[in-house]
């Protein structure tokens, strides 16, 4: 299964694609979509939607996962981040993808083992879990971490479903 991980941001949205087969993961691609700070907000959001749509059309993921937004002390920044996240979710949903959503601490715990991990720890573990990966930047690393988290959750769910089927006498 090809999974698209998304780390939404208005200035930079990270994206990362992995191929997951059970617990085996392989890097497919990653990148960052940047918007011009000098452009009006609606144009930046439209550019983000178009660029992510192109990634989805080109790479053809089967599912997607996005990081949830945390608020901060600047309400205006949080609002803009939420708008960018909405556009990211819309682009994936418009393409027919089912989208998993994960709190940043869940992503950190799934990839590093602790919910308080720092960005450099996430980048190091992404490199370890996806040998040979060339990261387009920190936002792309975060997006790959989201994809890895989704792969782990899907593998756990599938394993539980298989065990339940066996226990119920099915095959």
Binding site: which residues? 7, 67, 139
Catalytic site includes residue 139: yes
Residue 95, phi-psi category: left (phi > 0), alpha (psi -120 to 50), beta (remainder)? alpha
Selected catalytic residue, list 59, 67, 118, 158 = 67
Phi, psi of 114 (to 5 degrees): -140, 140
- Catalytic residue (choose from 68, 139, 142, 158): 139
Binding site for Mg(2+): what residues are annotated?
A: 7, 67, 139
Whether 54 is a known active-site residue: answer no
Instruction: Identify whether the C-beta of residue 32 lies closer than 8 Å to the C-beta of residue 140.
Output: yes
List alpha helices for the chain, DSSP H: 41-59, 75-94, 104-111, 119-129, 138-167
Asked whether 19 and 62 are in contact (CB, 8 A), the reply is no
7 is catalytic: yes
Active-site amino acid positions: 7, 67, 139
């Amino acid at each position: 299964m090809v999974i698209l991980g998304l780390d939404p941001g208005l200035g930079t949205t990270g994206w990362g694609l992995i191929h997951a087969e059970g617990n085996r993961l392989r890097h497919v691609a990653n990148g960052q979509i940047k918007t011009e700070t000098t452009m009006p907000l609606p144009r930046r959001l439209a550019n983000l939607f178009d660029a992510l749509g192109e990634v989805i059309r080109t790479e053809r993921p089967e599912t997607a996962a996005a990081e949830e937004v945390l608020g901060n002390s600047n309400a205006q920044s949080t609002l803009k981040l939420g708008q960018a996240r909405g556009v990211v979710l819309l682009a994936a949903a418009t393409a027919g993808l089912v989208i998993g959503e994960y709190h940043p601490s869940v992503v950190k715990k799934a990839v590093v083992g602790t919910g308080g991990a720092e960005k450099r720890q996430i980048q190091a573990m992404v490199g370890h879990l996806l040998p040979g990966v060339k990261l387009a930047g920190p936002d792309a690393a975060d997006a790959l971490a989201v994809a890895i988290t989704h792969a782990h959750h899907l593998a756990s769910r599938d394993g539980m479903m298989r065990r339940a089927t066996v226990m119920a006498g099915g095959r």
